[in-house]
Amino acid sequence: MEYRHLGRSGMLISEISYGNWVTHGSQVEAEQATACVRTALDLGITTFDTADVYAGTRAEAVLGEALKGERREGLEIFTKVYWPTGPGRNDRGLSRKHIMESINGSLRRLQTDYVDLYQMHRFDVATPLEETFEALADVVHSGKAHYIGVSEWKAEQIRAGYELARELKIQLVSSQPQYSMLWRVIEAEVVPVSEELGIGQIVWSPLAQGVLTGKYLPGQPPPSGSRATDEKSGAMFISRFMRDDVLSTVQKLKPLAEQAGLTMAQLAVAWVLQNPNVSSAIVGATRPDQLTDNVKASGVKLDTELLKRIDEVLDPIVERDPDKTESPSKRP
């Protein structure tokens, strides 16, 4: 495993991290979740990403339990706040009230005194940005989080947050967007601003939720147990990629991966890591062997000719529109 700085910060994180959206507390049993976390640690993954909202708050508890007994200083634990965590009108968003309540809930469930990175899971149109950042400054200055990040914020929102963070003497160091060979919407605006401000991308769904592993074949039912068969939530989220034109185009990457001596999953993870503004690729996994496969992408250099051929194959189905970086127009 290779390690990168999180943006311009002094903290190093594993360039492949493990996230537990959809999986822990939902798609997979606790025992399987723990087995994945233990394998991740054995493979050199030290960075773990979760959120208060995942699996109705259960995902944080599963991760906290799985990491129990680990040396805290050897881990980087990331969580998030914004999406609803309860039925109340204040159990959501980025108000001072919800941030203060949510960080305490997250720390309790994660069984830790602090998180390394506290991320704003979307931009909250219903709270003044100053209120959010003043609350975050209190979270950081009380030692409950070390660094601040955002997720799916537009370039101008990142810049506004960055300036407030500086004034308040806290560090906004990361952005967590969706990024993969199929979803490149950050390249035009978010990445240039982030490079200028020293913000690193921690990218989600680098495998397009499993689609880029090539295991979903056009015109055929999805493999049993895969995300596309998870009726609790996974099937709904992956549906955007489950189109025959996408699945058949993705199959054309297979010979390219083989020529490079990589599995398709490794090619997909290595592809996002070629972007120097990416600090880490957050992979998901329902089984330990998926992590064993995916981590081999660490340190892989893809040559220019291969990158060009990937672009030629995928061009008709790649999404590049920067307007697809968005937050809800109303607080959920």
Ligand X SMILES: NC(=O)c1ccc[n+]([C@@H]2O[C@H](COP(=O)([O-])OP(=O)(O)OC[C@H]3O[C@@H](n4cnc5c(N)ncnc54)[C@H](OP(=O)(O)O)[C@@H]3O)[C@@H](O)[C@H]2O)c1
In this chain, which of 85, 226, 298, 327 binds ligand X, going by CB under 6 A? 226
CB 184 within 8 A of CB 320: yes
User: Considering beta carbons, is residue 215 or 324 the nearer one to ligand X?
Assistant: 215
Asked if 157 is part of the footprint of ligand X (rule: CB under 6 A), the reply reads no
Cα 210 to Cα 239: distance, rounded to the nearest angstrom: 11
Asked if 282 is part of the footprint of ligand X (rule: CB under 6 A), the reply reads yes
Asked if 49 is part of the footprint of ligand X (rule: CB under 6 A), the reply reads yes
Asked if 293 is part of the footprint of ligand X (rule: CB under 6 A), the reply reads yes
* Binding letters toward ligand X, positions 113-132, x by CB under 6 A: --------x-----------
Asked if 294 is part of the footprint of ligand X (rule: CB under 6 A), the reply reads yes
User: Considering beta carbons, is residue 168 or 291 the nearer one to ligand X?
Assistant: 291
Asked if 183 is part of the footprint of ligand X (rule: CB under 6 A), the reply reads no
Q: Is 232 helix (H, G, I), strand (E, B) or coil?
A: coil
CB 76 within 8 A of CB 84: no
User: Considering beta carbons, is residue 92 or 121 the nearer one to ligand X?
Assistant: 121
Asked if 34 is part of the footprint of ligand X (rule: CB under 6 A), the reply reads no
CB of 248 to ligand X, least distance (A): 18
CB of 178 to ligand X, least distance (A): 7
User: Considering beta carbons, is residue 150 or 313 the nearer one to ligand X?
Assistant: 150
CB 177 within 8 A of CB 201: yes
In this chain, which of 284, 295, 296, 310 binds ligand X, going by CB under 6 A? 284
Residues forming a β-bridge with 48:
18, 77
Asked if 209 is part of the footprint of ligand X (rule: CB under 6 A), the reply reads yes
Residue 246 CB burial class (10 angstroms; 0-12, 13-18, ≥19): buried
Cα 135 to Cα 141: distance, rounded to the nearest angstrom: 10
CB 54 within 8 A of CB 64: no
**Of the candidates 299, 225, 240, which has an alpha carbon nearest to the alpha carbon of residue 269?**
299
CB 123 within 8 A of CB 331: no
Q: Is 82 a catalytic residue?
A: no
In this chain, which of 55, 148, 210, 246 binds ligand X, going by CB under 6 A? 210
User: DSSP characters for 44-83?
Assistant: T--EEE--TTGGGGHHHHHHHHHTTTS-GGG-EEEEEE-S
Q: Return the axis-axis angle of helices 304-314 and 264-273, rounded to nearest 10°.
A: 110
User: Considering beta carbons, is residue 130 or 332 the nearer one to ligand X?
Assistant: 332
Residue span binding ligand X (CB under 6 A) among the ranges 18-26, 39-47, 64-72, 163-171? 18-26
CB of 146 to ligand X, least distance (A): 18
In this chain, which of 79, 151, 171, 277 binds ligand X, going by CB under 6 A? 151
Cα 328 to Cα 154: distance, rounded to the nearest angstrom: 12
User: Considering beta carbons, is residue 67 or 168 the nearer one to ligand X?
Assistant: 67
Q: Which of 18, 54, 82, 179 is catalytic?
A: 54
User: Considering beta carbons, is residue 77 or 168 the nearer one to ligand X?
Assistant: 77
Asked if 149 is part of the footprint of ligand X (rule: CB under 6 A), the reply reads no
User: DSSP characters for 197-228?
Assistant: HTPEEEEE-TTGGGGGGT-SPTTSPPPTTSGG
**Of the candidates 131, 68, 61, which has an alpha carbon nearest to the alpha carbon of residue 95?**
131
Asked if 208 is part of the footprint of ligand X (rule: CB under 6 A), the reply reads yes
Point out which residues bind ligand X (CB under 6 A): 19-21, 23, 49, 121, 151-152, 176, 204-210, 213, 215, 226-227, 265, 282-286, 290, 293-294
* Active site positions, annotated: 54
